[in-house]
């Protein structure tokens, strides 16, 4: 069997002022054809899972385009056109194919298309006709009718932090194999309660998200149920369908798919008030970290998470750390290529006076004028030790570790969410020995940091990934929706978008 694969992956935060052009994709990863194997074979990632799944079934895999960018603003029309045409030409040029298995994100917005994945799937369907068209998705996918109507099978991650991309991709290939041998005829139902949960409430390691996942897994064991996708959604794509989705896929049983998807949607709605979050005021958390006897205290700057489209050059937390006189910590990371250049020019051991961070916008703190000592310099590449994306390469670009008032401040040339401890270790920093670890991350940091953390505190920081969703001025998401509209907090009748 011959399987075509490809990826156009982006989580678009339409409130970001960083336009996502082709260069943004090149920075993170834009590879064509066989290069996909060099980059992902043997990695515990979704593309790695598609490669391995095809290998296990003896399928020939034909790669087209792999394009992914760090979350940022709306994708330019030109960039999406180039990537889409690359993908479609790859599918057209692959002769005698039996199925398509894509790895998509599900929250991509371009200047032209509010739902880029729907466009991708619709265009590919027109090229390939009735053969199986399957895609894996991120846990933050905002599913749409267009996506569900054009794909035979949609499989999302079950975890946030995302540690099961590989497993879900293998599952997608396994189910594709069963569609090809005729033993599986997918029937599916999409339900979307009017809920737009903030990222903190989406953490699958605790109630309430854990309860929904547990219920989905219980249903997956029922006869006739093949796979269930629970997607918490990505608020800042601000499309009508943004928010929580449930897709139940059964074997040739539409009524069963409908009733289970509705049941999950109803359950989420009943629990909605438990999806409100209350992070800690920053100075209160820092004063606590200063006197804590069990360390390290992990402090999450959830408002400036590049994984959700924030710039990662915010100074709000660093300024507060210096005001509180906190020492012996590490901050991961501040994105500031100019400061890295300044540090490289000065050299290790030298003192420099810098205007650090705060360059991208005025939402995450102003540039901070400080004197720093260049502690070390590095090329900024490392191999992930996991559990997220184990074995995959990360690239922060040229990187400087600055000593600012007794703290290690990691300054990078590329935006990189701190999700892996190799980020520190590759720079000669042992994070476990630090008093505190300040991370610019909403939830992903937990996978690697919780095992070494004495405690984790979510900071109530301002920014493009703040859970204070009512302040954003959403324009396109359907209303009313929880938690943007006050009436949705009370007991009202459930209004579900019925989408089969
Ligand atoms: Zn995600």
Say how many Å lie between the CA of residue 421 and the centre of ligand 1. 19
Residue showing tokens 């900024």: 380
Burial class (CB in 10 A: 0-12, 13-18, 19+), 132: buried
Is the Cβ–Cβ distance between 103 and 169 less than 8 Å? yes
Mean pLDDT, rounded, for 265-294: 97
* Mean residue pLDDT across the chain: 96
Question: What is the rounded CA–CA span in Å between residue 332 and residue 439?
Answer: 5
Question: What is the rounded CA–CA span in Å between residue 6 and residue 84?
Answer: 10
Q: Residue 442: is its pLDDT beyond 90?
A: yes
Question: What is the rounded CA–CA span in Å between residue 232 and residue 242?
Answer: 9
Q: Quote the Cα angle for 438-444-449, to 5°.
A: 55
Q: Residue 493: its pLDDT value, please?
A: 47
Q: Could you report the per-residue pLDDT of 91-116, keeping only the tens digit for each?
A: 999 999 999 999 999 999 999 999 99
Say how many Å lie between the CA of residue 273 and the centre of ligand 1. 22
Q: Tell me, what DSSP letter sits at residue 206?
A: S
Q: Residue 496: is its pLDDT beyond 70?
A: no
Q: Which two tokens stand for residue 436?
A: 């505190």
Query: What are the start-end ranges of the H helices in 42-164?
Result: 46-57, 77-93, 116-128, 145-150
Q: Which two tokens stand for residue 73?
A: 């603003």
Q: How confident is the model at residue 297 (pLDDT cuts 50, 70, 90)?
A: very high
Q: Quote the Cα angle for 161-428-203, to 5°.
A: 10
Beta bridge partners of 459: 280, 301
Q: Tell me, what DSSP letter sits at residue 309?
A: T
Is the Cβ–Cβ distance between 265 and 196 less than 8 Å? no
Q: What is the H or E stretch that residue 428 is in?
A: none
Residue showing tokens 């359950």: 267
Q: How confident is the model at residue 28 (pLDDT cuts 50, 70, 90)?
A: confident
Query: What are the start-end ranges of the H helices in 142-196?
Result: 145-150, 165-180
Say how many Å lie between the CA of residue 4 and the centre of ligand 1. 24
Is the C-alpha dihedral spanning 293, 296, 302, 303 positive or negative? positive
Q: Residue 224: its pLDDT value, please?
A: 98
Question: What is the rounded CA–CA span in Å between residue 168 and residue 334?
Answer: 32
Burial class (CB in 10 A: 0-12, 13-18, 19+), 303: buried
Across 200-211, b (16+ Cβ under 10 Å) vs e yields bbbbbeeebbee
Could you tell me whether strands 186-192 and 153-156 are parallel, antiparallel, or unpaired per DSSP bridges? unpaired
Q: Residue 253: is its pLDDT beyond 80?
A: yes
Question: What is the rounded CA–CA span in Å between residue 174 and residue 179?
Answer: 9
Mean pLDDT, rounded, for 118-136: 98
Say how many Å lie between the CA of residue 11 and the centre of ligand 1. 8
Mean pLDDT, rounded, for 346-356: 98
Is the C-alpha dihedral spanning 28, 36, 384, 143 positive or negative? positive
Q: Could you report the per-residue pLDDT of 209-224, keeping only the tens digit for each?
A: 999 999 999 999 999 9
What is the value of pTM for the model shown?
Answer: 0.95
Say how many Å lie between the CA of residue 201 and the centre of ligand 1. 13
Is the Cβ–Cβ distance between 331 and 441 less than 8 Å? no
Mean pLDDT, rounded, for 120-146: 98
Question: What is the rounded CA–CA span in Å between residue 138 and residue 29?
Answer: 17
Question: What is the rounded CA–CA span in Å between residue 301 and residue 462?
Answer: 9
Q: Tell me, what DSSP letter sits at residue 471?
A: G
The CB-side HSE value for 414 (13 A sphere, CA atoms) comes to 21
- Percent residues over pLDDT 90 in the chain: 96
Q: Which two tokens stand for residue 367?
A: 């540039």
Q: Which two tokens stand for residue 329?
A: 């910590």
Say how many Å lie between the CA of residue 163 and the centre of ligand 1. 10
E-strand stretches of 325-378: 330-335, 351-356, 368-378
Q: Tell me, what DSSP letter sits at residue 342?
A: H
Is the Cβ–Cβ distance between 330 and 449 less than 8 Å? no
Q: Tell me, what DSSP letter sits at residue 280?
A: B
Residue extents of the structural domains in the chain? 2-275, 282-459
Say how many Å lie between the CA of residue 404 and the centre of ligand 1. 32
Contact partners, residue 252, CB within 8 Å, separation at least 6: 185, 187
Say how many Å lie between the CA of residue 165 and the centre of ligand 1. 10
Nearest partner of 297 among 453, 149, 143, judged by Cα: 453
E-strand stretches of 379-419: 381-383, 393-395, 399-404, 407-412
Say how many Å lie between the CA of residue 111 and the centre of ligand 1. 21
Say how many Å lie between the CA of residue 287 and the centre of ligand 1. 31
Q: Residue 29: its pLDDT value, please?
A: 77
Q: Which residues are near ligand 1, the ion (C-beta closer than 5 Å)?
A: 138, 140
Q: Residue 108: its pLDDT value, please?
A: 98
Question: What is the rounded CA–CA span in Å between residue 228 and residue 250?
Answer: 9
Burial class (CB in 10 A: 0-12, 13-18, 19+), 337: middle
Say how many Å lie between the CA of residue 115 and the centre of ligand 1. 16
Say how many Å lie between the CA of residue 468 and the centre of ligand 1. 19
Could you tell me whether strands 99-103 and 2-9 are parallel, antiparallel, or unpaired per DSSP bridges? parallel
Say how many Å lie between the CA of residue 450 and the centre of ligand 1. 18
Q: Which two tokens stand for residue 273?
A: 């008030």
Say how many Å lie between the CA of residue 162 and the centre of ligand 1. 7
Beta bridge partners of 12: 72
Question: What is the rounded CA–CA span in Å between residue 305 and residue 298?
Answer: 15
For 101, 157, 179, 186, 227, the CA distances from 172, given in Å and listed in that order, are 8, 11, 10, 12, 10
Q: Could you report the per-residue pLDDT of 444-480, keeping only the tens digit for each?
A: 999 999 999 999 999 999 999 999 999 999 999 999 9
Q: Which two tokens stand for residue 127?
A: 């090229």
Q: How confident is the model at residue 486 (pLDDT cuts 50, 70, 90)?
A: confident
Q: Residue 498: is its pLDDT beyond 50?
A: no
Residue showing tokens 């895999």: 61
Mean pLDDT, rounded, for 348-354: 98
């Amino acid at each position: 069997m011959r399987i075509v694969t490809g990826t156009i992956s982006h989580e678009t935060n339409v409130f970001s002022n960083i336009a996502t052009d082709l260069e943004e994709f090149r920075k993170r990863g834009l590879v064509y054809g066989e290069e996909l194997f060099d980059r992902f074979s043997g990695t515990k990632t979704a593309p790695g899972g598609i490669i391995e799944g095809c290998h296990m079934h003896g399928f020939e895999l034909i790669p087209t385009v792999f394009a992914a960018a760090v979350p940022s603003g709306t994708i330019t029309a030109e960039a999406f056109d180039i990537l889409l045409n690359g993908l479609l030409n790859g599918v057209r040029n692959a002769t005698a194919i039996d199925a398509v298995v894509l790895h998509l994100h599900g929250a991509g917005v371009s200047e032209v298309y509010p739902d880029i994945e729907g466009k991708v799937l619709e265009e590919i369907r027109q090229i390939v006709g009735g053969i199986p068209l399957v895609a894996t998705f991120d846990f933050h996918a905002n599913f749409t009718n267009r996506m569900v109507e054009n794909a035979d099978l949609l499989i999302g991650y079950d975890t946030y932090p995302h540690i099961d991309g590989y497993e879900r991709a293998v599952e997608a290939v396994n189910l594709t194999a069963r569609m090809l041998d005729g033993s599986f005829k997918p029937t599916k139902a999409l339900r979307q309660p009017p809920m737009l949960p903030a990222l903190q409430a989406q953490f699958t390691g605790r109630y309430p998200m854990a309860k929904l996942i547990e219920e989905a897994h219980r249903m997956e064991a029922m006869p006739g149920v093949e796979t269930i996708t629970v997607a918490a959604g990505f608020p800042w794509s601000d499309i009508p369908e943004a928010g929580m989705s449930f897709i139940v896929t059964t074997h040739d049983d539409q009524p069963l798919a409908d009733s289970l998807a509705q049941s999950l949607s109803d359950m989420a709605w009943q629990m909605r008030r438990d999806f409100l979050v209350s992070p800690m005021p920053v100075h209160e958390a820092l004063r606590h970290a200063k006197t804590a006897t069990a360390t390290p205290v992990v402090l999450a700057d959830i408002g400036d998470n590049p994984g959700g489209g924030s710039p990662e050059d915010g100074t709000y937390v660093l300024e507060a750390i210096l005001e509180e006189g906190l020492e012996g910590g590490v901050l991961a990371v501040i994105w500031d290529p100019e400061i890295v250049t300044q540090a490289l020019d000065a050299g290790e051991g030298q003192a420099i006076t810098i205007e650090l961070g705060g360059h991208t916008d005025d939402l995450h703190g102003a540039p901070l004028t400080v004197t720093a000592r260049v502690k070390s310099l590095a090329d900024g590449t490392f191999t992930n030790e996991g559990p997220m994306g184990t074995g995959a390469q990360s690239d922060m670009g040229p990187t400087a570790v600055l000593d600012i008032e007794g703290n290690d401040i990691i300054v990078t040339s590329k935006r990189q969410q701190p999700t892996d401890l190799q980020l520190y270790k590759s720079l000669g920093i042992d994070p476990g020995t630090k008093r505190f670890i300040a991370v610019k991350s909403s939830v992903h940091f937990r996978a690697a940091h919780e095992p070494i953390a004495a405690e984790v505190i979510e900071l109530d920081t301002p920014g493009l990934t703040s859970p204070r969703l009512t302040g954003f001025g959403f324009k396109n998401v359907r209303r009313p929706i929880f938690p943007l509209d006050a009436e949705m907090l009370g007991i009202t009748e459930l209004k579900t978008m019925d989408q089969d």
